[in-house]
Structure 1
Amino acid sequence: MDPEDSINVLGETLAVCGTDPVTGFFRDGHCNTCAADQGSHTVCAIMTKEFLAYSKYVGNDLSTPRPEFGFVGLTPGDPWCLCAGRFLQAADEGCGPKVNLAATHKRALDIVPLDILKEHAL
């Protein structure tokens, strides 16, 4: 299970998304991905109150701590490697979070058009 090349949506070296809490499919702070990452955790999103409420509403509660999984729960302002499909869904509903393009993996473009990512860029 080796990660794909660490290239962002701008064609540059993938920047760190977040380390407090540590994020990423590989829990290395980067939105790296591989064939086993079926959710495509490739969008470096900055959590907002609106997005966290939306995510909980659609069945993925990211704000409640889950100590049994070592998950502290996210708060507004936290960076998180978000599933590309969930980002696109939230963007379509008008509550897409901000995006760190330098830390968003190029594989996100398989699901989310670059112009939509840029609309939500920091």
Structure 2
Amino acid sequence: MNHQPQIEGATEYNVLGELLQPCSEDPLTGFFRSGYCAAGPENAAHHLVCIETSAEFLAYSKTVGNDLSTPRPEFAFPGLTPGNRWCLVAARWLQAHEDGKAPRIYLAATNRKILDLVPFEILKGYALDLN
């Protein structure tokens, strides 16, 4: 996979100020199913946070009405299992954070547009890809 989302005319950046890196091809993620947590043209998409799923987060997410573990073939959604990487809606990540259930994240694959909602210092506390 190359290092830019394949959304026509878009060059997007991560929360580190670098080119946005891919989140996952297996399962294929992102609002545009490009593998990237891209906001896209006119910032239409909100699937901005590249997370690593855990059993605890998947159970929590289901209890708040966002079932990410059940396959939905009609939407080409395989269902997630612990350890998958996935582009999560920014507001859902913030909700999980406020409830003490937020999953760990990959900053290099998390879109900088989330900084409009969540301060970098908070995100950094959940980072899997910082030295």
What CA distance in whole angstroms lies between the structure 1 residues aligned with 2:110 and 2:98?
A: 19
Aligned length: 120
Structure 2 unmatched ranges of 5 or more: 1-6
| Cα pair 1:3 1:32 within 8 Å, conserved | no
**By how many angstroms is 1:112 displaced?**
1.3
Give TM-score, length-normalised by structure 1.
0.93
Alignment match, 1:26: 32
Choose the corresponding residue for 1:91, options 81, 89, 97.
Answer: 97
Matches within 5 A, 1:21-60: 21-34=27-40, 35-37=43-45, 40-60=46-66
Deviations 1:42-91, CA, capped at 9 Å, x for gaps: 00011011111111000010000011111100001000000111111101
Letter in 1 for 2:104: K
**By how many angstroms is 1:92 displaced?**
1.3
Deviations 1:86-120, CA, capped at 9 Å, x for gaps: 11110111111000000000001111111111010
Give TM-score, length-normalised by structure 2.
0.87
What CA distance in whole angstroms lies between the structure 1 residues aligned with 2:17 and 2:121?
A: 15
Matches within 5 A, 1:71-86: 71-86=77-92
What CA distance in whole angstroms lies between the structure 1 residues aligned with 2:61 and 2:23?
A: 19
What CA distance in whole angstroms lies between the structure 2 residues aligned with 1:73 and 1:65?
A: 4
SS in 1 for 2:57: helix
What CA distance in whole angstroms lies between the structure 2 residues aligned with 1:75 and 1:3?
A: 33
What CA distance in whole angstroms lies between the structure 1 residues aligned with 2:122 and 2:56?
A: 18
**By how many angstroms is 1:5 displaced?**
2.8
C-alpha distance 3-59 of structure 1, shift in aligned 2 (>3 A):
farther
**By how many angstroms is 1:4 displaced?**
4.4
Give me the CA root mean square deviation. 1.4
Q: Relative contact order: is structure 1 or structure 2 higher (C-alpha 8 Å, sep ≥ 6)?
A: 1
SS in 2 for 1:56: helix
